[in-house]
Amino acid sequence: MLKEFTKGIIKENPIFIILLGLCPALAVSTQVVNALGMGAGVIFVLLGSNIFVSLLKDFIPEKIRIPSYIVIIASFVTIVDLVMQAYAPALSRNLGVFVQLIVVNCIILGRAEAFANKNDLSRSVLDALGMGIGFTLGLLLISLIREVLGAGTITLFPIGAFNGVIRIPVLYSAPARVIGLATGALLVMGYLKALLNWFDQRKKV
């Protein structure tokens, strides 16, 4: 059972292994706080979607399953969007269109289609959590690299007096800006994936 949860984190990590949900991954990974916010949103939608698809799997006829899943997913995305606008406006502004774009995040429809409509509730919940956390971790990794090298900071949530920005001494004064830009995202992704392949190939030998 636990395997359903852990598979999403390493073996079938959505970002690095299955290569789903890339668009938001590369677009919002300019700051760590954005990654955290996006990750939270995706986990919430994934949970909602997997739960309802699993609960309704015998109710939804095969012919209309894709439109039904879309309506369910879009509803949860709208909830996240409205709640974020009301209670976390800064995050909402930073993530911009990408909050609504969670609805086309292949991961969510992918899990509904590949897993939740064939498995019971508890497994679906674990699957959602595992995939969601795996996505968030992958996103965090990319964001950390991009923000630390590209801007020399790590931006977290402001708490009280702490405005949320941690500056890294040497890098802050001379960051490699290109990494924070579009090019950097694609290059970082390429190199990370190559690194993963390298580990994989060494294991096989």
Partner 1 sequence: MNSIFVSGGKLFLICVVAALTLGIINAITEPVIAERKVLELNMALNSLTGELQAAEGVIVGEESVVRAYYPVLRAGKVDSFILELNGSGYGGDMKMLSRYKLNGEIISAKLMDNLETPGLGKKAENPEYMKKFIGSGSSNPVPVLKSMLEQSEAEAITGATITFIGVAKALDEGSRFITEGRLAKVKE
Partner 2 sequence: MTYIGIIITFVLIENFILTQFLGLCPFIGVSRKIDSAVGMGFAVIFVMSMASLTTWAVYNLILLPLGIAYLQTITFILIIATLVQFVEMIIQKTSPPLYKALGIYLPLITTNCAVMGIALIAVRKGYNAFESFVAGFAAGVGFLLAILIMASLREKLDSEWVPKPFKGIPIAFVTAGLMALAFMAFDKALLKNLIG
Contacted by 68, from partner 2, partner 1, none: CB < 5 to 8 Å by type? partner 1
User: What are the beta bridge partners of residue 159?
Assistant: 162
Contacted by 60, from partner 1, partner 2, none: CB < 5 to 8 Å by type? partner 1
CB of 55 to partner 2, least distance (A): 20
Distance CA(46)–CA(131), nearest Å, equals 8
Contacted by 195, from partner 2, partner 1, none: CB < 5 to 8 Å by type? partner 2
Whichever of 18 and 176 has its CB closer to partner 1, that residue is: 176
Degrees to nearest 5, angle at CA 82 with 27 and 50: 75
CB of 147 to partner 1, least distance (A): 9
Whichever of 10 and 64 has its CB closer to partner 1, that residue is: 64
In the chain, the amino acid numbered 83 is V
CB of 126 to partner 2, least distance (A): 24
Contacted by 89, from partner 2, partner 1, none: CB < 5 to 8 Å by type? partner 1
Binding site for partner 2 (CB under 8 A): 19-20, 22-24, 26-27, 66-67, 70-71, 74-75, 77-78, 81-82, 97, 100-101, 103-106, 109, 178, 181-187, 189-191, 193-195, 197-198, 201
Closest to 156 in 3D by CA, of 171, 167, 172, 169: 167
For 109-172, where are the E strands, in sequence order? 153-155, 165-167
15 three-state secondary structure: coil
CB of 62 to partner 1, least distance (A): 9
21 three-state secondary structure: coil
For 52-109, where are the E strands, in sequence order? none
Distance CA(6)–CA(12), nearest Å, equals 9
Contacted by 88, from partner 1, partner 2, none: CB < 5 to 8 Å by type? none
- Exposure of 16 in the CB half-sphere (CA atoms within 13 A): 27
